[in-house]
């Protein structure tokens, strides 16, 4: 087996594994019982798409997809931080409501 054939086989296997991980994360996003599960699944999907962009850039020998991966990583980080702050405020709001109910 030549080096080029081995690289093609490895990239194809990597693509399949990344797509399987993306599918599993989507299932968790759809049926996740809590908000935290959905946030983690969304973050995993973002990381899987970034990995897909990297592997695809190697496969087609076009480094411009790496720029897409970098931008997606930055946007994914900001989305994760925003969702974490939303979840934190929601938790605090629910705790305040429970405290008011106990006081009443």
Token digits for 46? 């973002």
Q: Where are the domains of the chain?
A: 3-103
What is 3-103's CATH topology?
Helix Hairpins (1.10.287)
Report how far residue 86's alpha carbon sits from residue 92's, in angstroms, rounded to the nearest whole number: 10
Q: pLDDT digits over 72-100, tens only?
A: 999 999 998 998 888 888 888 888 888 88
**pLDDT over 80 at 101, yes or no:** no
42-56 mean pLDDT: 95
Q: CA separation (Å) from 34 to 3, 28, 37?
A: 46, 10, 5
């Amino acid at each position: 087996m030549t080096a080029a054939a081995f690289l093609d086989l490895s990239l194809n296997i990597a693509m399949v594994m990344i797509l399987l991980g993306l599918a599993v994360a989507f299932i968790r996003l759809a049926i996740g019982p809590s908000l935290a599960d959905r946030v983690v699944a969304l973050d995993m999907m973002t990381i899987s798409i970034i990995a897909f962009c990297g592997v695809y850039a190697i496969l087609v020998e076009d480094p411009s997809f790496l720029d897409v991966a970098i931008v997606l990583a930055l946007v994914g980080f900001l989305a994760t931080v925003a969702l974490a702050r939303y979840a934190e405020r929601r938790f605090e709001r629910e705790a305040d409501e429970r405290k008011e109910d106990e006081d009443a």
